[in-house]
Amino acid sequence: MIINWYTVFFQIINFIALVFLLRRYLYGPIIESMAARESKIIEREEAAAKIASEAVAQGLDYKQKVTTLQDRDAEVLAKVKENAEIESRQLLAKAREQVDETHKRWHEAVAREQESFIHNLRSQVGRQACRIAKQCLKELADEKLETMIWAIFPRKLQELSPEEKNKLQKAFDGAQKVLLRSTFKPTEEKLQELTVNLSEIFGKKVQLTQQTSTDLICGVELEVGGYRIAWSVIEYLSEMEKEILEHLHKSGNKKGTADA
Amino acid sequence: MNINPDELIIYQLGWFQINATILVTWIIMAFLVIGSWLVTRRLTSEGPLTRGQNLLEVLVTMITEQIEEVSRQTPGPYLPFIGTLFIFIAVANLLSVVPGYIPPTSSLSTTTALAISVFIAVPVFGITRHSLKHYAKQYLQPTFFMLPFNIIGEISRTLALAVRLYGNIMSGTIIVAILLTITPLFFPVIMQVLGLLTGLIQAYIFAILAMVYIASASKAHQKIEDKGE
């Protein structure tokens, strides 16, 4: 017989024994080991997924923070620019004000200088004119200037217009005093003569007070109760001053336009 | 020519005798158990794996996947039985490259023993999974008159299982033996290599068929239960 039942029985026993032995020493440990590794891998994957989700959340958080900071930066920058613009405008306005102020002061100083110069010039020119006139009168006509002035002044009074005489009369009625100011002191005779002339004009006796003044420059001034009649070089000099000032103004404007 | 290892008596004491089939089987068993123990005593679930652990894990994973694929069930309960069938037959056949080695699977007694094991395992797994009543109903399907044919079918497939493995391995051994006498140098080597392939394929076929029988029995019972409900 090709089948040995004794061997068959032994082989069945052997196979069953092998099944249990391999279950004990092969399948059980290997399956457990693989399961343990699998669970560890799952744990690691879960941990990695958790870390990844945390990282993503942190990334989003940082992104939001960066966006907020950028927005804030832009706001701060805009504010700084605005402040700088305002400051710049203020400083510019202040600088312009200072320049205008300096310019104005300079103009005032120039005007003062001009005025002072003109005033001095007028005085100098007047004095020089008087001196020359006196010299001319003395050398050419053998006459003194003051004598000529005192000779002409009564005549000027006589030549006053009726309107002016009327005003003078009204002023005299209110004051009763007459002040005579002159560059040169008149002689007593001239003074008496003038008093008589004035008394004739006003029709009353006049109390004349004489006062010497260098400001008049070759002239005589009569003041009655706030009304004043003068005859002097100052009037001519004032005309000359006016012309010089106009000339200076024109020169100044031309220079200013050229500078601009 | 006598190449039946059952008839090669190694030791005898009264009725107790140890023939070549039993001895070689024990050697293979010792090789498998000791080899497994040596590898699995130092298993690690972290870091680099040893070569042995890697090999065994690959083997177990492959068997598990095959069982799962064939049965469409959890492979856990079937793994020791089916896995042992495959590993034992494969190792027994592959060792035939060793000169002078006679594979125990070339003995009809061994293949019969394995087929009987499958024959027993089918109802055992079926009853364990469901119940005796439900399992017994399978033999009465579709009618009561089919009972003898179902029983004959069970026996014949067990016989086919035993004879297929025996025939393949024994024929391989016989062909090599015949060729050795005709062309002693070249052809036996090719046939030996072919024998390795055949041996491995036969191990796979035996294990898969066993799994198919067990799984079909479980599924058939499942269908009966579903109908009953």
List all residues 6 or more positions away from A138 whose beta carbon is below 8 Å from its beta carbon: A144
Identify the pLDDT of residue A141.
65
Rounded Cα–Cα distance for residues B101 and B165 (Å)? 17
- Under the banding of pLDDT at 50, 70 and 90, the label for residue A255 is low
Identify the pLDDT of residue A90.
94
Identify the pLDDT of residue A168.
77
> Starting from the edge strand earliest in sequence, which strands make up the sheet with A227-232, in order?
A207-212, A177-182, A219-224, A227-232
Contact A26 B40 (CB under 8 A): yes
Q: Greater confidence, A227 or A32?
A: A32
Q: What mean pLDDT, rounded, does chain B reach?
A: 83
Give the structural domain span for B165.
5-228
ipTM: 0.87
Q: What mean pLDDT, rounded, does chain A reach?
A: 83
pLDDT tens-place string over residues B59-104: 999 999 999 988 888 888 899 999 999 999 999 989 988 888 888 8
- Say if residue B227's pLDDT is above 60: no
Identify the pLDDT of residue B229.
46
Residues of chain A neighbouring B109 (CB-CB closer than 8 A): 3-5, 7-8, 11
How close does chain A come to B105, measured CA to CA in Å?
A: 11
Residue of chain A nearest B82, judged by CA positions: A19
For A207-251, the DSSP string reads EEEEEE-GGGSSEEEEEETTEEEEEEHHHHHHHHHHHHHHHHHHH
Total structural domains in chain B?
1
Identify the pLDDT of residue A23.
92
Identify the pLDDT of residue B224.
53
Q: Among B19, B76, B108, whose Cβ lies nearest the Cβ of A2?
A: B108
- Say if residue A20's pLDDT is above 60: yes
pTM of the model: 0.58
- Say if residue A170's pLDDT is above 90: no
Contact B209, B161 (CB under 8 A): yes
- Say if residue B222's pLDDT is above 60: no
How close does chain A come to B81, measured CA to CA in Å?
A: 6
Q: Express as a percent the part of chain A with pLDDT over 70.
A: 92
Residue of chain B nearest A38, judged by CA positions: B45
How close does chain B come to A45, measured CA to CA in Å?
A: 15
pLDDT tens-place string over residues A216-248: 767 788 888 778 777 776 677 777 777 877 877
Identify the pLDDT of residue A160.
80
Contact B109 A4 (CB under 8 A): yes
pLDDT tens-place string over residues B167-196: 877 777 777 778 777 777 777 778 778 888
Q: Does B206 touch chain A (CB under 8 A)?
A: no
Contact B91, B28 (CB under 8 A): yes
